[in-house]
Amino acid sequence: MLYATRLNSLKARPELYFAPGPIRTPDLLARAARIQGLSSLSLNFPEHFTPATLRETKQTIEALGLSVDSLNVRYPADTFGDGGFTHPDAAVRRSAIDLTCQALDACAELGGNHVIVWPGFDGFDYPFQDSYERMFAHTVDGFAQVAAHNPAMRVGLEYKPWEPRKYSFIGNMGEAMLVVNEVGADNLGVVLDYCHAQMANEHAPKAAALALRHDKLFGVHLNDGYGRQDDGMMVGTASLVTTLELLMLLERSGYPGTIYFDTFPLREDPVRECEWNIRITERLLQLARELAADQSLGHGHDAFNVTRVIERLLFPERVHA
């Protein structure tokens, strides 16, 4: 399994690693290189670099012995605060599509094959604010154009139920899959963020199963939280058993993608935090593989399946083959 981290997570606790002054992308890349077990990087575009600095960024990454798995598109609020793909102005929608296509080109140049699109400003705040039919049609059209820009690049739609808008237009797995199926492009799929699923009152393993059924789970953002907001806590620290069930489903399905750690360390050492995420995921994946081989688990509508899993977690010495 490949592991990638959110580069902005490494901005926390600057006094541990950085000299006083502005933190630049090369500083964050150097910090990422300290993380044991990290396979790859997931950078933001155009936040972490621009087309003008692409060559320099690529050289820095290669010199550190790292690689780029994916780019995350971040739409600047001053231009896209009222929406990107769903903006009522056709010129702004065109700019959002063009920026996303630039991200595909940059990702290919960096050696990655996946661009993650979180349309954070696509949504609404008040009743009667806009036409839902128009917004959906423009969402489908926007993703269709992006997917067609380079069919060799995967495009992952990352959903979130709210924030920064009161209602995001694509707020749950069902809505994301509706867009993906309407577009019908082989290279368009869904990225599941664990905390976003919690916010949407989804059971993350069930949400993943819907995408896996259609071979459309293109990425998984692992983190943890309590469901009231996008907590971005360390993996397995608030809902360990559900995290384990999600990983078991990934194992059973032969999920070929990357595990992204989309966490928000604030008071924690971000290097140590990411190393925990990698370490606990590795341990849980080992157990998930064992559970995936047990065909009696996850079947039979038996509530005691989960108690067997918990006993295996807490008392492995008592478990008999």
**How high is the pLDDT of residue 19?**
84
Mean pLDDT, residues 49-63 = 94
How far apart (Å, rounded) are the C-alpha atoms in residues 268 and 271? 9
d(CA 244, CA 154): 26
Per-residue model confidence as pLDDT tens digits over 119-145: 999 999 999 999 999 999 999 999 999
From 3.20.20.150, 3.40.47.10, 3.40.1370.10, 3.40.50.1000, which CATH number describes the 2-318 domain? 3.20.20.150
pLDDT of residue 21: 86
* Phi (first) and psi of residue 290, to 5 degrees: -65, -45
Amino acid at 243: T
Report, as an integer, the average pLDDT of 218-242: 98
Average pLDDT, the chain: 96
* Confidence check: pLDDT of 5 > 80: yes
The pLDDT value given to residue 318: 75
The lowest-confidence range among 93-102, 301-310, 311-320 is: 311-320
**pLDDT (average), residues 168-173:** 98
pLDDT at residue 257 in the model: 84
Distance CA 147, CA 169 (A): 19
* Torsion over CA: 148, 151, 155, 157 (sign): positive
Confidence label for 317 from pLDDT (cuts 50, 70 and 90): confident
SS3 assignment, position 3? strand
Across the range 229-252, mean pLDDT stands at 98
In this structure, which amino acid lies at residue 171? G
Q: What is the mean pLDDT of residues 81-102?
A: 98
Query: What value does the mean pLDDT take over residues 158-173?
Result: 98
pTM to 2 decimal places:
0.96
pLDDT at 320: 57
What is the residue extent of each domain of the chain?
A: 2-318
Is pLDDT above 60 for 250? yes
| DSSP bridge pairs for 193 | 221
